[in-house]
Amino acid sequence: MRIRVSLATAALLGLKNCNLKVKPTTLYFLLSGECKGNCLYCEQKKGRLARVKWPEFDFEDILEKIKNIETKRICILSIYNEGSAERIAEIAKKIPNKAISTCVNAIGKKEMEMLKKAGVERIGIGLDCCSKRVFNKWKKNVPSWEEYMKALKDAKEVFGKVSCHLIVGLGESDKEVIDLMKKLKKDGIKISLFAFSMGLETKVELERYRAIQIARYAIEEGIGKFYFEGEKLKEIKVPIIEKDAFMTAGCPNCNRPFYNERVSKIYNYPYELSEEEFIKAVKEAEKYARICITN
Ligand code: SF4
């Protein structure tokens, strides 16, 4: 079986030579083959997923390296095509004793049960869009919004541990993203935020992304209050902000270094921020919305 390996993961496995500014704490793999979906923000057909290149290898040739490397997590990203869940299960069975996540589209409950049985520990659902309105604009030739909602519910029942991938910058309003994050929190689903990028450029304003990162953090911690003017976020009241707010969120130990951004302008920090970086990140958010730290 052929499999795509993120360039940084390939470097860690000794399959490629490249200089890693930050090491991935999860190893990332992507099913090879054609994705039948036609999500307008996705550049997989051009050989890239987000900003990342995914060289292809023979899975059996690299299996021993995967088994022997110490890593905190392995993530297998799916494509929208028949038999994808079966292929993920096949891969998972061959790498026992590792924490395995998979990121899938809206698959059925039976497929989820099969993945769990094969050893997948957590599941991420690639909803990506923050409202049905945005979903219908961007996500083509994939299951419907309602099917994704059902998949999130099924995933919670089957796995318990679920993340939902959301991309900021696809034309959603602040209220849409915050309302959806609140619903996910209520349903016990973790939020994995991505910044929209095309080509090598990140397309969402950093200041807005910072405010939404604080909102994500506050919602997950159950501590924030949000005030809007129309659909636009005006103020966040929060008793505390921690560095986590600006770090890559999702499954434990998933840091996706520079997945959506250049090293020189970080959106999701793949490491714990320095004090200086933290203060700068809060100030960036304050340029977009009032951040009120209060009890
Ligand atoms: S949060 Fe990270 S490890 Fe989890 S499914 Fe998404 S990309 Fe994979």
Q: What is the pLDDT of residues 214-227, one digit of tens each?
A: 999 999 999 999 99
Residue 47 has pLDDT above 70, yes or no: no
**Predicted confidence (pLDDT) per residue in 247-295, tens digit:** 999 999 999 998 888 888 999 999 999 999 999 999 999 999 999 998 7
CA of 166 to the centre of ligand 1 (A): 11
CA of 201 to the centre of ligand 1 (A): 21
CA of 212 to the centre of ligand 1 (A): 19
Q: How far, in Å, CA of 176 to CA of 168, rounded?
A: 11
254 lines ligand 1 (CB under 6 A): yes
pLDDT one-digit tens code per residue, 125-137: 999 999 999 999 9
Q: Tally Cβ neighbours within 10 Å of residue 137.
A: 15
DSSP string across 48-106: EETTEE--EEEHHHHHHHHHHS--SEEEEE--SSTTHHHHHHHHHHHSTTS-EEEEESS
pTM of the model: 0.95
pLDDT one-digit tens code per residue, 146-170: 999 999 999 999 999 999 999 999 9
- pLDDT surpassing 80 at residue 51: no
Range with the lowest mean pLDDT among 48-52, 76-80, 190-194, 221-225? 48-52
> What is the token pair recorded at 247?
């770090």
Ligand 1 and 6: CB distance under 6 A: no
User: Is 37 near ligand 1, meaning CB less than 6 Å away?
Assistant: no
Mean pLDDT of the chain: 95
- The CB of 189 under 6 Å from ligand 1? The reply is no
Give the CATH number of the domain where residue 180 resides.
Answer: 3.20.20
Residue 72: pLDDT above 80? yes
The pLDDT score that the predictor gives to residue 125 is 98
- In angstroms, what is the span from residue 252 Cα to ligand 1's centroid? 8
**pLDDT tens-digit series, residues 7-35:** 999 999 999 998 899 999 999 999 999 99
Q: Is 177 in the pocket of ligand 1 (CB under 6 A)?
A: no
Who's near 255: CB < 8 A, 6+ residues apart? 22, 24, 25, 26, 247, 248, 270, 271
Residue nearest to atom 4 of ligand 1 (CA): 251
Express as a percent the part of the chain with pLDDT over 70: 99
**Residue reference for tokens 């990203």:** 77
Q: Report the distance separating Cα 177 and Cα 164, nearest Å.
A: 12
- How many domains does the chain contain in total? 1
Residue 48: is its pLDDT beyond 80?
no
Q: Which atom of ligand 1 is the closest one to the Cα of 73?
A: 3
Cβ of 103 less than 6 Å from ligand 1: yes
Q: What share of the chain is helix, strand, coil (3-state, %, to 5)?
A: 35, 25, 40
Q: How far is the CA of 59 from the centre of ligand 1 (A)?
A: 20
Helix, strand, or coil (residue 169): coil
The CA 265 to ligand 1 mean position distance, Å, reads 22
As a whole-number percent, the residues of the chain with pLDDT over 90 amount to 89
- Domain limits for position 233: 2-293
* Cα 230 to ligand 1 centre (Å): 33
